[in-house]
Chain A
């Protein structure tokens, strides 16, 4: 009995030395240690033994081991299939058949034995190593982030943003709550952050650091191939970047011990990061699993990209080979404009003449002035939103958000000439896409021409405002409603070298009338469209009109079912002179 008791005490003392005693046992032992000097002596003895063991000197190294080992390793590297014999005509095809069978068997074996591991690794390796040149549109493409560091990757993990310039313009690819892809180009606050500071803050152990560094290295390589730019300044964005940072963050978090996770969560909170870490007291998974999961998520070499250019947003399959791209960049460095110039071009997209609606450059003097003049405490609003369904099934929304309210309804001071000018405002361009699971390859002219449509509809918006202004003047002054031009074409997007021409006139591509809305608190005016012969309800024209409904909170659109519609009849009649201007009471 005494021996068992002694053994129990020794185990307690030993575990106490290793700091692995449960709290209750620890308190019990510490109480006894205070009371029993003999026990304390035993503890010190054990401690001295442990310390002596930890100071055992290593044996002298043997640097010649590799030479001997490598010769044995060479013997183990046997080819899968021996070379076919040149003797006898039948032996060659037989060897080929056997070889093929061995190959198939090997592949089946590898597949069944290794599941998804080998493919993921092979893809990763191919992406990095295979020498295979694939260009985009016959021109070179280059990585926008070819000099990213692991620090960048860490910031990307935490904030999801990638710097586009030194003025704080960032690219943010994310998933919306409705699982749509959203690409934001604009200003986003991110804190300066380095790995060293991060590791210090969370007291990362060397082993954890090795794992996290590997994760960051994988992410860095992924970012490098995730955002590309071609010679025509198109921006190619890997939609998987939307989930990459969250995966990375989760992977980093899963390498942490529970106490570190709590610190990590607080740390993220302090930085204003939009993500939180679950602090459930589960043991972290083994780091290999984390790496494996992460490596398995590495993209295929041939994958789809969202391509943004001056004409629009479309989805294309692009084969990315970083080796060949890197070589091209090195070989043709002199013919490429600098990244800074490219970004300057890409982030100034003009939708309509001198009206810049997509311009992230807050640094220009003009923009600063406008911003200061139009300081508006009201919250940001969507200036423009357009939804598309592509032929292959992607739902796309182009959204232009403005931090300031646009000048609508136009004030008398601002509308003096019958045509309304939009003031230049800094805006954020967002593109939301609902990507189909499987898309077919398409040539350059097809796909989603989001900007092209956006330009058309934005012009329509401007035109509607002008028309509204005319209508407002009519009701105020009792004048005849001006005759609106009839459309000469259906709602077909304009084709040409550019869809962003300067000061180009346009007409509404359908007949319509504009009236003050009876719900003018919500909709300042109402657009009424008569039935359009030959265009059924599900036609593209109607879809376009439907899309106009979502164009802002200032327009209400009513598409009439038939010619005899009361609203249409009434709307085509000159209003009663006694009708109060813009009161909305003249409409049922």
Chain B
């Protein structure tokens, strides 16, 4: 998980060589950053780069926007790190920024889709509707099936499920990241898993995923839980 320590100001102080080792905690690195050591940010970046990219991908399912989104998230982190008050773990704070940024993006895309739909309705181009409403079929692989199923989850379920079952956060941490109550997180994870179970059941039986009860944006309705 931890990356190799990048080159730092070791020439100034030989002892720093051990300080910048990957086993230093996030909080210590944040302190170092706040004390003026900009190299600490590089270590944090290397430590979380891929995790953030994966979270963004699992939430947005859009490879093309992935690196731009991740970069934007880390720029926000960089800007806010001096003011970080240690009220939560750094990783929690980082993921909160990532999740919020993803939510913003989802909101923007929904608006765009509404506009697109209007345009489609006006133009009568039904092919574009189907391409927006469903994900690409991909290879017949369980990983793809899961990603496809995840993409169909409403984001209020998808985000906690991703954070819990893919990223391994605890309920309390997810509550901090998503800024909701722990009980709500538990409930949403349960419902998200239940929807996924429903979505994946045909796949388990060897049949393609159905697209029943889908919204216009391709996500599933709550009724699929029952």
**Residue of B25, B37, B161, B166 with most partner-chain A CB within 10 A:** B25
Docked complex Cα distance between A442 and B45 (Å): 49
Smallest CB–CB gap between B87 and chain A, Å? 8
* Number of chain A residues close to chain B: CB under 8 A: 58
Would you give the 0/1 interface string for A287-304, flagging 1 where the beta carbon is closer than 8 Å to chain B? 111011001000000000
Would you give the 0/1 interface string for B103-119, flagging 1 where the beta carbon is closer than 8 Å to chain A? 00000000000000000
Smallest CB–CB gap between A332 and chain B, Å? 17
Instruction: Say whether B89 contacts A62, CB under 8 Å.
Output: no
Would you give the 0/1 interface string for B22-61, flagging 1 where the beta carbon is closer than 8 Å to chain A? 0111111011101111100110011001100110011000
Q: A14-B186, A14-B189 are in contact. Are A45 and B197 (CB under 8 A)?
A: yes
Docked complex Cα distance between A73 and B79 (Å): 9
B181 interface residue (CB < 8 Å to A): no
Chain A: CB-nearest residue to B91: A207
Instruction: Say whether B190 contacts A76, CB under 8 Å.
Output: no
Instruction: Say whether A288 contacts B86, CB under 8 Å.
Output: yes
Smallest CB–CB gap between A207 and chain B, Å? 8
Q: A11-B186, A49-B200, A76-B78 are in contact. Are A69 and B45 (CB under 8 A)?
A: yes
Instruction: Say whether B89 contacts A288, CB under 8 Å.
Output: yes
A439 interface residue (CB < 8 Å to B): no
**Residue of B27, B34, B189 with most partner-chain A CB within 10 A:** B27
Chain B: CB-nearest residue to A115: B85
Docked complex Cα distance between A217 and B27 (Å): 13
B83 interface residue (CB < 8 Å to A): yes
Docked complex Cα distance between A18 and B28 (Å): 30
- In the complex, which of the residues B25, B71, B161, B193 contacts A210, with contact meaning CB atoms closer than 8 Å? B25
**Residue of A14, A129, A322, A326 with most partner-chain B CB within 10 A:** A14
Instruction: Say whether A61 contacts B34, CB under 8 Å.
Output: no
Smallest CB–CB gap between A339 and chain B, Å? 18
Instruction: Say whether A59 contacts B25, CB under 8 Å.
Output: no
* Number of chain B residues close to chain A: CB under 8 A: 72
**Residue of A55, A73, A288, A322 with most partner-chain B CB within 10 A:** A288
Instruction: Say whether B15 contacts A49, CB under 8 Å.
Output: no
Docked complex Cα distance between A286 and B84 (Å): 14
- In the complex, which of the residues A76, A125, A292 contacts B36, with contact meaning CB atoms closer than 8 Å? A125
B179 interface residue (CB < 8 Å to A): no
Chain B hits for A76, CB < 8 A? 75, 78-79
Instruction: Say whether B166 contacts A65, CB under 8 Å.
Output: no
Stretch at the interface among A2-10, A379-387, A398-406: A2-10
Chain B hits for A45, CB < 8 A? 197, 201
Instruction: Say whether A50 contacts B165, CB under 8 Å.
Output: yes
Smallest CB–CB gap between A215 and chain B, Å? 9
Chain B hits for A286, CB < 8 A? 86-89
Chain B hits for A55, CB < 8 A? 142-143
Instruction: Say whether A6 contacts B31, CB under 8 Å.
Output: no
Chain A: CB-nearest residue to B196: A49
Smallest CB–CB gap between B173 and chain A, Å? 10
Smallest CB–CB gap between B185 and chain A, Å? 10
Smallest CB–CB gap between A124 and chain B, Å? 7
B63 interface residue (CB < 8 Å to A): yes
Instruction: Say whether A18 contacts B225, CB under 8 Å.
Output: no
B97 interface residue (CB < 8 Å to A): no
Would you give the 0/1 interface string for B85-104, flagging 1 where the beta carbon is closer than 8 Å to chain A? 11111100000000000000
Instruction: Say whether A53 contacts B201, CB under 8 Å.
Output: no
Smallest CB–CB gap between A220 and chain B, Å? 10
Chain A hits for B75, CB < 8 A? 69, 72-73, 76
Chain B hits for A7, CB < 8 A? 187, 190-191, 225-226
Chain A hits for B15, CB < 8 A? 128, 322, 326
Instruction: Say whether B28 contacts A53, CB under 8 Å.
Output: no
Chain A: CB-nearest residue to B26: A210
Chain B hits for A292, CB < 8 A? 27, 31, 86
B216 interface residue (CB < 8 Å to A): no
Smallest CB–CB gap between B163 and chain A, Å? 11
Q: A7-B225, A61-B50, A288-B89 are in contact. Are A214 and B24 (CB under 8 A)?
A: yes
Docked complex Cα distance between A449 and B67 (Å): 68
Smallest CB–CB gap between A547 and chain B, Å? 45
22 sample A-B contacts, Cβ–Cβ < 8 Å, listed by A number: A10-B225, A11-B186, A14-B186, A14-B193, A20-B171, A49-B197, A50-B193, A53-B161, A53-B196, A66-B49, A72-B71, A72-B75, A73-B38, A122-B36, A128-B15, A210-B26, A213-B25, A288-B88, A291-B27, A291-B28, A295-B31, A322-B15
Besides A117-B85, A288-B90, 11 other A-B contacts (C-beta < 8 A): A3-B226, A55-B143, A61-B49, A66-B42, A66-B45, A76-B78, A77-B38, A125-B37, A129-B12, A211-B25, A217-B18
* Nearest 4 interchain pairs by C-beta: A288-B86, A14-B190, A53-B165, A121-B35
